[in-house]
Structure 1
Amino acid sequence: MGAREDLDQAAAVFAGVRPRLFGIAYRMLGSSTEAEDLVQDVWLRWQTYDRATVADPGAFLATVTTRLAINAVRSARVRRETYVGPWLPEPVDTTADPHLGAERGEALGYAVLLLLERLSPTERAAYVLREAFDYPYRKIADVIQVSEVAVRQLVSRARKHVLGGRRAPVSGAEQRRLLTAFVAAARAGDLAALEELLAADVVSYSDGGGAVRASRIPVVGAFRVSKYVRAFADRFWAGVEVRWGPVNGQASALLCRDGEVFAVLTVNASDQGIDQVLWMMNPAKITAAA
C-alpha cells in the first residue's frame, strides 16, 4: 500500500469514529470548541502514529481522546478560576445527532454537565465512558490506567454525586412547557407569573464571559430571580425574536436580534418547578448552538 492510500485509509477509519471521539471530548470538557480542538489533536497524532501496531483503531483512538481530555480538564479548571462570572457548558445543537456519538444520551444535558464539573477528571472520565458509551469496567480500566475495582468505585461515586446533586427531572414535554411559560412571563415582566413557575430555591446563572453585560454572580431564590428578570425585561426583550430548538438534548430558546443569535436560554426543572435558569450570552460560546 502506498503512502497516499495508507493515509486515506487512516482518514476513513478516523472519520468513522470521529462522532464518538467528539462525544467523549465534549462531555469531558463541556465545550464544543475545546472538544473540536482536542479531536483535531487526536487526528494529528493518528496520522504520525505507527498504525500497523494498532489492533483496534476505534478503541485506540477513544483511549487517546480520553487521556488527552483528562489532562485538558485539569488545565481547563485552572483557566476557569479566572473566568468572569459563572461558567456554563457550551451549548451544542443536538438536532443532527441527539446523542453526540454515544449509545445513550447520558451526560449531555446541562444539569448533569454542571454536576460533572465537580468530579475529579478520572471520575468524570469513568462516568462518561460507562454511562454514555456503555464501556465495560475492564475496558475503562485499560483506558484510564487504574484497576477494575478502582473503576467501579469511581463510577459509583460519580453516580451518587450526580443523583444526589439534583432532584428528579420533569419530562421533556413538561420542561418545554415550563420554558415556554418562563419566556412569556419574562418577556412581559410578569412578576407573579415568574414566581409561580420557579422553585423556592431556584438559581439563575448568566454566562457572559466578561464579553457582554450579564450578572457576575448567581441569583438565588424565586423572589430574587423574578425581580431580576423583571428588572431588565423592557430593554432586554426589545426587538427579540425567539426560535425554539433542542440544545444539549433539551428544549431551549435561541434569542435573536436582527437575525443573529445573541443568547441561548434554557431551564432545568423538577416537580417543584424550575430549579435552574441558564442564560448563555458569551458570544464565543453560542456558535455551536446557533
Structure 2
Amino acid sequence: MDEHGSATTGPAEPMDGAAEATEVFLAHRNLLFTVAYEMLGSAADAEDALQETWLRWMKVDRRQVRDQRAYLVRVTTRRALDRLRTMRRLKEDYVGPWLPEPLLTAPDVAEDVELAESVSMALMLVLETLSPTERAVFVLREVFGISHEEIAAAVGKSSAAVRQIAHRARRHVDARKPREAVSPSQVRAVLESFRRALESRDLQGLLDVLAPQVVLVSDGGGVKQAVPRPITGAGKVAHMIVNGLGKAQIALTSEPTVVNGNPALLLRMDGEIDGVIAARVEHARITGLYYVRNPHKLTRIAAETPLTLR
C-alpha cells in the first residue's frame, strides 16, 4: 500500500493499460486542477501539482486502487499541500501585496453559484489567511464535499482532527466572506458604472460606485508598479485611480470579461494588456478592488481555463 493506503507501485503496464490510465486521468483532470488551484491560487503551481500526480498515477499498481477519483484527489491534495507550505515561505519575500492568479473562465461558470463563489478573488483572498492544512481541509470539505475520512487520508490527520479543523476553518471564512449573495448581472451593472468612471477619470462617478470603506489591493510583483500596501477608503481609492491614470498621453480602455467565474475588467494601456480588475460587490457598491498587474500572473487570460467541482 502507498502513503495514502490505497495502492502500491508495480511493474509497468502494457500500452493498452497506459492508454486506459491516461484516459482516466484526463477524465478527472479539470477537477484535479480546480482542487489544486483553489488550494494554491496559482495556475502554474497547480499544473506542477498535476504533473506530479500524473507521474505518481502512471507508476502505481492501479489494480489496487479501489476508487480512482478519490485516489487522484488524495494525491493531488498531497502535492498541492507540499507546494502550499513552500509558497508561504516564498510569499514572505514577494514584492508588495500578493493576489491569486486570475483565470479566464467561460461565462456559464458565473451561473454556477457554488463554483463561482469558490474561485472568486474575494474568497481566494480569505483562504490566504488560513494555514495550509486548514485551507486544504476547507477546500476539500466545503467546496468539493469530500468526506472527513477521505480528507484525513489526504492530509495525514485523524478524522476527528479533520472535523475540528473543518469547523475552525469554516468559522474563520464565514466571518470574512461577503454576507450578501450578489448575482452576476448585479456585479456586471456595478462594474459597468465603475468602467465608465474609470475611462473618463470621473472622480465623482468613482465615489458613487465605491463603498465608503472599499479596499484596493494591487499586485505588481515588483515587475510593474503597484501600490505597496492595500488602500482603504473611497476618497483615497478614487483619487489614487484618477491621479494614477491622469497622464493624458495614456490611452486607457477596459473591456468586460469573466475571471474566476465572476465578472471582471481587462485593462489596456495604449492597446497593451495592463492587468485585470476583479471586484467584490455588496449592496450595489464595490467593497473590494483587486488589480493584478504582474505579467507573470496574466498568462491565463487569453484562453479559457475549464473548472469543475465534479
Question: TM-score when scaled to structure 2?
Answer: 0.86
2:23 maps to which residue? 12
8 Å contact from structure 1 (residues 86, 218) kept in 2: yes
2:216 maps to which residue? 204
Equivalent of residue 24 in structure 1, options 35, 38, 51? 35
1:229 maps to which residue? 241
2:4 maps to which residue? none
Question: TM-score when scaled to structure 1?
Answer: 0.92
8 Å contact from structure 2 (residues 277, 291) kept in 1: yes
8 Å contact from structure 2 (residues 95, 222) kept in 1: yes
- Once the two structures are superposed, the pairs formed by residues 32-71 of structure 1 within 5 Å of their partners are 32-71=43-82
**Do residues 194 (structure 1) and 206 (structure 2) align?**
yes
8 Å contact from structure 1 (residues 126, 140) kept in 2: yes
8 Å contact from structure 2 (residues 109, 115) kept in 1: no
**Do residues 220 (structure 1) and 232 (structure 2) align?**
yes
8 Å contact from structure 1 (residues 106, 132) kept in 2: no
TM-superposed CA distance for 1:249, in Å, is 1.2
Equivalent of residue 127 in structure 2, options 102, 116, 119? 116
Post-superposition CA distance 1:261-282 (Å, at most 9, x none): 3211121021272111111111
- Once the two structures are superposed, the pairs formed by residues 105-254 of structure 1 within 5 Å of their partners are 105-169=116-180, 170-235=182-247, 238-254=250-266
Distance 2:166 2:108 in 1: 25
Distance 1:96 1:267 in 2: 16
How many percent identity over aligned positions?
A: 39
Higher RCO, 1 vs 2 (CA within 8 Å, ≥6 residues apart): 2
> Helix, strand or coil for the counterpart of 1:98?
helix
Distance 1:27 1:45 in 2: 21
Change (3 A) 1:289 1:46: same
> Helix, strand or coil for the counterpart of 1:245?
strand
TM-superposed CA distance for 1:221, in Å, is 1.0
Task: Note the residue ranges of structure 2 that are not aligned, 5 or more in a row.
Answer: 1-11, 303-310
TM-superposed CA distance for 1:196, in Å, is 1.7
TM-superposed CA distance for 1:16, in Å, is 0.9
Query: Which 10-residue stretch deviates more, 150-159 or 233-242?
Result: 233-242
Report the RMSD for the aligned CA atoms in angstroms: 2.3
TM-superposed CA distance for 1:6, in Å, is 1.6
Change (3 A) 1:244 1:105: closer
TM-superposed CA distance for 1:235, in Å, is 3.2
Change (3 A) 1:236 1:278: farther
> Helix, strand or coil for the counterpart of 1:14?
helix
8 Å contact from structure 1 (residues 25, 38) kept in 2: yes
Task: Note the residue ranges of structure 1 that are not aligned, 5 or more in a row.
Answer: none
Distance 2:196 2:249 in 1: 11
Deviating above 4 A after TM superposition, structure 1's stretches of 4 or more consecutive aligned residues are 101-106, 257-260
Query: Which 10-residue stretch deviates more, 140-149 or 195-204?
Result: 140-149
Q: Specify the code of the residue in structure 2 equivalent to 1:118.
A: T
Distance 1:157 1:236 in 2: 50
